Amino acid sequence: MRLFYAIFLPEEVKRALVEAQERVARYKGWKEVAPHQLHLTLLFLGERPEEDLEDLLALGHRLGRLFSPFTARIRGTGYFPNEGTPRVWFAKAEGEGFAPLAEGLREGVRELLGEEALLAGGDKPFKPHITLARRKAPAPRVPPVVFGVEWPVAEFALVRSELKPKGPVYTILEKFPLRGDHGREQEESAGKRS
């Protein structure tokens, strides 16, 4: 199964991004990401055997207990690649929790499944972003869009991606709440009471 860890967006953030997507909607060469699929990928795993699933779910729960919720922001847009002909138009995301969480997942997958399990994601450095549109045919760049949106990131998910003729279908297999130390203290005190 094709898997990735991701953060999905609240409705108000999606609305702001969908408004931005209208900038490329007029060009046939750009294909916008469907609003319900807008997400920020933390770690792409590619095709994994079903027997890896238990370890990947356990890793998500373990990291959810270690990391605290944080605030994410979107300020503007960019292109991959930045020079030449772009393939992807994205919204840049900022938030102090993105990189540590992505690195924690990377390290955890490496420990559990080995370096091979990280090959599908490539060796590019992690850049938190939300893909808005993919370029499928010649189409112009659109001017930068400035956002002023932020949201609390309180969970992430393990997602199954199935490639279909009309586009990928994402299924959230499990969500992992971010509880950090505060959550752990609550769990411990709840355990003492029972």
Which residues are designated catalytic? 39, 129
Name the nearest CA neighbour of 152 among 184, 186, 180. 180
Q: 3-state class of 25 per DSSP? A: helix
* 182 vs 175: CA distance, rounded Å: 19
Widest Cα–Cα separation across the chain: 63
Show the DSSP H helices in 26-87 as ranges: 53-66
Contact in structure between 153 and 70 (CB atoms under 8 Å): yes
Q: Which residue in this structure is represented by tokens 């490639």? A: 163
